[in-house]
Amino acid sequence: MRTYLTLLSSVAAVMLGSSSCGPSNAPIDLGGPSGSRSWSENLDGSPRRGIDEGALFYLGSTFMIWTDASRGIASRTAQDSSGVRCSGVTYGEGDRNLTFECTIDPDGRGRVVIDDRNFDLAAGRLFLVKTRSDRFESRQIDRDLKSMSFGAVVPKELAEKDEEIRTFFEAD
């Protein structure tokens, strides 16, 4: 019986020890909190879409979609040792909805698909999307998303300070 218990405890020790030798299931550092938010900041009745009202989806400082669709964003995210996967939809006017998905490796490299268009995160991590025309218009820009803390900062204030973001959303 003693030999059996010794063997059993040895097997248990090997099994417990080997579980830490495999791939880690620890979450990947996305550089901050993740989430989505929509806003409407204009009280005078003529909002500038994407600036005074809009919606965001963000994965820390790794990836962000900023859209003029103020009806919100629904999304889901899965994360494991192989990376992060996300998918979602932003609700445009009428029945027009924009879909997106992302795949991000643990080292931060990845791809994004917005309305069937493919993008490489190496070219920029911020995606601006206009939904008000017959066709969705998107632009990938390179910004340091670590400086964009959307928990405390209003997107309107950032758009006012960033000429490229402001010009994209104001142009017809």
| pLDDT tens-digit map of 125-148 | 999 998 876 778 899 999 888 877
pLDDT of residue 45: 74
Alpha carbon distance 40, 9 (integer Å): 61
23 domain residue, yes or no:
no
| pLDDT tens-digit map of 146-159 | 877 655 556 888 88
Strand order in the sheet with 97-104: 73-80, 83-91, 97-104, 110-114, 117-120
110 domain residue, yes or no:
yes
Q: State the DSSP code for 63.
A: E
C-beta separation of 31 from 145 below 8 A = yes
Alpha carbon distance 8, 48 (integer Å): 69
7 domain residue, yes or no:
no
165 domain residue, yes or no:
yes
pLDDT of residue 19: 34
10 domain residue, yes or no:
no
43 domain residue, yes or no:
yes
Looking at the 3D structure of the chain, how many domains does it have?
Answer: 1
Alpha carbon distance 38, 77 (integer Å): 18
- At residue 100, does pLDDT exceed 90? yes
| pLDDT tens-digit map of 21-72 | 444 555 678 888 888 888 887 667 788 888 888 888 888 888 899 998 877 7
**C-alpha closest to that of 158 among 122, 133, 126:** 126
Domain extent, residue 70, equals: 34-170
16 domain residue, yes or no:
no
